Structure 1
Amino acid sequence: MTLRYGRVLLKPLAELDQAAWRRIHAHFRDPEIAHLNGTPPSRLPLWLLKRILKADARRPDRETYGILDTTDDDAYIGTIELYDIRFDRATLGIIIGERSHWSRGFGPEAMRALLHRAFDELGLERVVLSTFGDNERAQHAFRKVGFREKRRVPTPRGRIDVQMELSRAAWLEDRARRTAEQLVP
């Protein structure tokens, strides 16, 4: 199942081409992206990373997609997922790995596509996430789609974990507001 919103197309990992997998591999190896994600850069070869990520994507508590830029011949720009889907809640994770797409609104568009799936199709009541306090660009993107900060927790490595959430009610309210704004001439 593919999802669309604005300039992005979300495509299940199993449907991505080899060029997209090479970009995923590059993103996982990138030291800056790894730092923002709180992990060391991956040293796995592409074939093993692909096998692990595809196996993870098949889990029943996870939906993982590649993010494609429809204005650039469906070029792969990142990944987004819902994971730990349990009962009426899930956790959102996103990586826009292509620096050329940072701070250009692609993250919020990808999140809106996936949040539509979460709230309107899966019937979830709450989506949560966490990011680091020094990742202000991500926090701005999360706020843009309606996430609200719940708490800040120091980590053992000296960073601050910013925990955020979005309720179904807040999502529906924001969508109604955006629709009304579009109707105003």
Structure 2
Amino acid sequence: MISLTPLMVGCSLRGDAVELTLPSGEQWVYTGIPLLEVDQPVTIGIDGVVCTDRPGTLEVTDVRAEDPSSNFRIEDYSLRPNAAVSGGEALGTVYGDVETAQFQAGQTTVDRTCDEGDGGGGYEVAIQLTRTGPGRAYSRAFLLDWESDGAQGTLRVPYAVVLCDQTPANKCDEQKRLIDSER
């Protein structure tokens, strides 16, 4: 019996389109943000960068929460070249909007590879969030929708976030462990 298996070398079903990727694969990260009032904006960095899989340009068209609580809302997002490449600091957590976090509103283009030596280094992603009602609000990961040369895709960023109420920081850590145990 002869088995024929299709083999594609150097081809992509997406044609010339570049794809959005993470530099080192998936690593589960999660954080708890304490002392957050209802409807108080907080902007987080995704604890890493996104980049193109090879030279080219793409647009991030949406950022969505994966399996969020009903009181978790993404209000805005923006991208900027990786600040660490030029000696700057990456975004952690800022109580405020994306502009308070020193990101230009509406920046959605990614045109750098992950390789820092090739003028790359990727892009930081800032996501502005709010807790819209009482209790803890959470998302298990973020989904970044992108488009390049007519092709579309979604990148899953394994970064879980818990927005805690007026709970002190040590209790917020306990709440974020609940997210891990529930997945």
Does TM, scored on the shorter chain, surpass 0.5? no
Could you state the TM-score of these two structures normalised by the residue count of structure 2? 0.25
Larger helix percent: 1
| Greater RCO, CA 8 A, separation 6+ | 2
Q: Between Structure 1 and Structure 2, whose CA radius of gyration is higher?
A: 2
Could you state the TM-score of these two structures normalised by the residue count of structure 1? 0.24
